[in-house]
Chains A and B, each alone.
Chain A
Amino acid sequence: MTKTGNRIGRIGINVFMFAVSLSCIFPLIWMLYSSLKTEREFSLNIMSLPTKPQFQNYIDAFEIGKMGSYFWNSAFVSFFTVIFTILFGFFTAYILARFKFPFRNVIYFMFLTGMLIPIHGLLIPIFIEFKALGLLNKQITLIFPYVAFNLSMAIFLFENFIKTVPLDVEEAACIDGSSSTRTVLSIVFPLCLPVISTAIILFFLGAWNEFPFALVLIESADLRTLPIGLTNFNGQYTANYTQMLAAMAIVVLPVIIVYLAFAKKVMQGMTAGAVKG
């Protein structure tokens, strides 16, 4: 009696888990195969597989929907966000981890509280600030807030890690006459690569997917990033679902590829702030 009960429980739990997994992946699979259908085919049956897969929707998304330009803008902003966050964050974290100096704790605390500040409250003041400074609507506009908002996390992660790196090698190198910049770059930086790679993924995904600041700070159609391009795409082609699905796939595919290649790293990166170690 209990044995069959156990077995039913086991099967039930496994079925439940598959249902959860399916709900997470099916909308994506549906999006991908539907993007290969023609608009007519889609309107006849929204669930059916494409009878003859075709890539016209993707061609249209690039040619009519300007997805190429949005893609380039997103890549540009994400790339420089990652570079500057790592660069600024790493050197600041190094100083905070290694030395005592006046205001050290004030600066450290300032970055730490940065993680709790609700950045959506900064949307309008940053718009006002950028307007006054003439910084709206430039190719580099979004890099400023993205880097700044990532710095807290970067410094938190790097500072924790650098503290665990032993001092001896650095000291030896410096006594041998290596300049401090050279020592940091050739000795400390390589040792931090595990945490840096985690951070790269985290910051890349954040910048690639960011929406509200891109919405508010960029007006010019030529400078829009992918998420904003998508909302604009919808306005232009309200009725054309399959083109829209192709455009969505263009936004999502690079992320999925990165994720499937580095699943463990991505999970680590995204949850880095909440999980110790």
Chain B
Amino acid sequence: MNDSTAIRPKRTTFLIYLLPSVILFAFMVLVPVILAVRYSFFKWSGGPKMDFIGLDNYMTLLTDSLFWNAFLNNLLIVFFSVFGQIGIAFVISIFLMSKVVKLKGFHRTVIFIPVVLSSVVIGFLWGMIYNQDAGMLNWFLQTVGLESWIRPWLDDPKIVMYSVTVPIVWQYIGFYLIIFLAAMQSINNEVYEMAELDGATGFKKMRFITLPLLSSTIKIAIMLCIAGNMKAFDSIFVMTGGGPGSSSTVMAQYAYDTSFKAYKLGYGSTISVGIMVLSVGLIIISQLIGGKNRD
């Protein structure tokens, strides 16, 4: 901030520059947060009749097994994403930084493709891959003689969460790969050369140089991973719609069903508040744990 008086615009111009964003942001983010809190105290189905019921919705939410089941489903996705996305991306980025792998540019470009695709399309594509009768996965298992592995991937409540998690993990590996590659490229090569002189080999270099120097990047990646997967919705909505039953329902899906299928907008608002509190809480907890580990 230099605050040069020579270039300072007139008062009106100043406000015209500044205010549209502020007003729009307030109107689309701050007001809705306040609205969500307000309506969370009402029993309301969207019509003119609204009953103030105090904390009843919150009491219901605390014991609502469907909601907590949905939260656990989100946690499951977060868990597999933190290890799957970040873990696989980390391994791949080490391979791509080594001299061993050929066609690095090709791999990088291709692995990033799923990131830019609509997750609705990803959902439909994997829905077709998982299709029980005409799906690619069962076709493949049959072709290689593993008939006993054939499953109704999206119709078995016991495995459906794992089935819907795979495409989510798969889609964003490229995202973390690019983040890690950018961070690794910024590590000074001399550090590695010094280590090599001291006799460090591939694995040791990774464990004692790359990993520690990347710790802040990994922390950011974990935070993005949690934030991103707490809002998992699109591809699951397309693949299963939360079913069978509620076995693959995530929090956003549950808020959607409650508000627009059961028309409980008051309780839907309570769930929205719950989503916000749990997501932000989880991010804060992860940062606290990460901070402690580093010291």
Interface string of A17-34 (1 = CB under 8 A from B): 100110111011011000
From A24, A127, A149, give the contact of B259 (CB < 8 A): A127
Instruction: Kindly report which residue of chain B lies nearest to residue A169, judged by CB atoms.
Output: B7
Tell me whether A122 and B9 are in contact in the complex, defined as CB-CB below 8 angstroms, given that A25-B110, A248-B124 are known contacts: no
Are A95 and B125 in contact (CB-based, < 8 A)?
no
Instruction: Kindly report which residue of chain A lies nearest to residue B284, judged by CB atoms.
Output: A116
Looking at the complex, which of A51-59, A60-68, A205-213 is the stretch in contact with chain B?
A: A205-213
Q: How far is A222 from B268 in the complex, measured between Cα atoms in Å?
A: 27
With both chains docked as a complex, state the minimum distance between the C-beta of B60 and any C-beta of chain A, in angstroms: 16
The 5 A-B residue pairs whose C-beta atoms are closest, nearest first, are A148-B28, A180-B9, A125-B32, A121-B276, A118-B279
Interface residues of A: mostly helix, strand, loop or mixed? helix
Residue A167, interface by CB 8 Å: yes
With both chains docked as a complex, state the minimum distance between the C-beta of A224 and any C-beta of chain B, in angstroms: 12
Are A145 and B230 in contact (CB-based, < 8 A)?
no
Are B234 and A205 in contact (CB-based, < 8 A)?
no
Are A211 and B129 in contact (CB-based, < 8 A)?
no
Are A120 and B233 in contact (CB-based, < 8 A)?
yes
How many B residues touch the partner, as a band?
A: 35 or more
Q: How far is A127 from B172 in the complex, measured between Cα atoms in Å?
A: 29
Report 29 cross-chain contacts, Cβ distance below 8 Å, ordered by A residue. A21-B110, A23-B170, A28-B125, A47-B136, A47-B139, A98-B2, A99-B1, A99-B14, A100-B3, A101-B14, A107-B22, A116-B280, A117-B33, A122-B33, A124-B269, A127-B259, A128-B39, A148-B28, A174-B6, A209-B117, A209-B118, A227-B118, A234-B124, A241-B134, A256-B116, A259-B112, A274-B179, A274-B217, A274-B224
Chain A residues with CB below 8 A from B10, complex form: 180
Are B39 and A125 in contact (CB-based, < 8 A)?
yes
With both chains docked as a complex, state the minimum distance between the C-beta of B37 and any C-beta of chain A, in angstroms: 9
Q: Which A positions have Cβ atoms within 8 angstroms of B?
A: 9-10, 13-14, 16-17, 20-21, 23-25, 27-28, 30-31, 43, 46-47, 88-89, 91-92, 94-101, 104, 107, 110-111, 114, 116-129, 131, 144-145, 147-149, 151-152, 155, 167, 170-171, 174-175, 180-181, 183, 205, 208-209, 211-212, 215-216, 226-227, 230-231, 234, 241, 244-245, 248, 251-252, 255-256, 259, 263, 266-267, 270-271, 273-275
With both chains docked as a complex, state the minimum distance between the C-beta of B171 and any C-beta of chain A, in angstroms: 9
Are A124 and B259 in contact (CB-based, < 8 A)?
yes
Are B124 and A244 in contact (CB-based, < 8 A)?
yes
Residue B265, interface by CB 8 Å: yes
Tell me whether A271 and B182 are in contact in the complex, defined as CB-CB below 8 angstroms, given that A13-B101, A46-B134, A248-B124 are known contacts: yes
Tell me whether A24 and B174 are in contact in the complex, defined as CB-CB below 8 angstroms, given that A98-B2, A128-B265, A151-B25 are known contacts: yes
From A23, A128, A251, give the contact of B121 (CB < 8 A): A251
Are B2 and A21 in contact (CB-based, < 8 A)?
no
Tell me whether A110 and B25 are in contact in the complex, defined as CB-CB below 8 angstroms, given that A17-B95, A118-B230, A216-B256 are known contacts: yes
Q: How far is A227 from B116 in the complex, measured between Cα atoms in Å?
A: 14
Chain A residues with CB below 8 A from B20, complex form: 88, 91-92
Q: How far is A181 from B255 in the complex, measured between Cα atoms in Å?
A: 45
From B24, B175, B234, B252, give the contact of A88 (CB < 8 A): B24
Chain B residues with CB below 8 A from A183, complex form: 7
Q: How far is A133 from B283 in the complex, measured between Cα atoms in Å?
A: 33
Interface string of B6-18 (1 = CB under 8 A from A): 1111100110111
Residue B111, interface by CB 8 Å: yes
From A111, A147, A244, A259, give the contact of B113 (CB < 8 A): A259
Are B275 and A25 in contact (CB-based, < 8 A)?
no
Are A117 and B29 in contact (CB-based, < 8 A)?
yes
Instruction: Kindly report which residue of chain A lies nearest to residue B91, judged by CB atoms.
Output: A16
Are B33 and A270 in contact (CB-based, < 8 A)?
no
CB contact list, B174-190 vs A, under 8 A: 174-175, 178-179, 182-183
Are A175 and B6 in contact (CB-based, < 8 A)?
yes
Residue B21, interface by CB 8 Å: yes
Are B234 and A212 in contact (CB-based, < 8 A)?
yes
Are B112 and A263 in contact (CB-based, < 8 A)?
yes
Tell me whether A25 and B21 are in contact in the complex, defined as CB-CB below 8 angstroms, given that A114-B29, A270-B175 are known contacts: no
Are A211 and B120 in contact (CB-based, < 8 A)?
yes
Are B272 and A122 in contact (CB-based, < 8 A)?
yes
Q: How far is A227 from B237 in the complex, measured between Cα atoms in Å?
A: 12
Instruction: Kindly report which residue of chain B lies nearest to residue A117, judged by CB atoms.
Output: B29
Chain B residues with CB below 8 A from A30, complex form: 136
Q: How far is A216 from B8 in the complex, measured between Cα atoms in Å?
A: 43
Residue B75, interface by CB 8 Å: no
Residue B100, interface by CB 8 Å: yes
From B2, B112, B136, give the contact of A267 (CB < 8 A): B112
Are B17 and A95 in contact (CB-based, < 8 A)?
yes
With both chains docked as a complex, state the minimum distance between the C-beta of A209 and any C-beta of chain B, in angstroms: 4
Are B124 and A167 in contact (CB-based, < 8 A)?
no
Q: How far is A91 from B53 in the complex, measured between Cα atoms in Å?
A: 44
From B7, B21, B175, give the contact of A98 (CB < 8 A): B7
CB contact list, B68-124 vs A, under 8 A: 88, 92, 95-96, 98, 100-102, 106-121, 124
Residue B35, interface by CB 8 Å: yes
